[in-house]
Amino acid sequence: MSEITLTDVCAYIRTAPGRADIAAVQEACIQQILTLDRAARPVIAPGRRARITDIRPAFLAGLTGTVQEPNRGATRWHFLLGEESTNALRRDPRTTYTVPDNTTRFLLPGKGIPAGCVELLDA
């Protein structure tokens, strides 16, 4: 069995009969990139302690807490801030979040933190 080369793949894409074929190649590429990304970084899972890094808005950088559930592709994670980070976010004048005074742990709203911005602390 001969090995398929990049040249072979490019030739196939140029001669693909329709959009569906090209979309299938694109989906395969995306899945392989996700696989390679997962292999390159520690396993993020619900319940792991973590720090948010390299993110915009910058006021979230450095906050710590617990990783919650992922989105469908595990590319973004919901994040529950710890008590100290909840207080820091509440006091930060740059924040766009309203953290109630009686909240000790704050679940960040929205689509979640990108996996690349999650630094595991319990590894």
pLDDT tens digits along 72-123: 888 999 999 999 999 999 999 999 999 999 999 999 999 999 999 999 998 6
CA-based Rg of the chain, rounded to a whole angstrom? 20
* H-run or E-run covering 97: none
**Residues 114 and 76 sit within 8 Å (Cβ to Cβ):** yes
What token pair was written down for 60?
A: 């979230």
Cα angle vertex 84, ends 94, 106, to 5°?
70
pTM of the model: 0.67
**Residues 116 and 55 sit within 8 Å (Cβ to Cβ):** no
Nearest-CA neighbor of 62 among 44, 84, 46, 77? 84
pLDDT tens digits along 32-70: 877 787 666 678 899 999 999 999 999 999 999 999 999
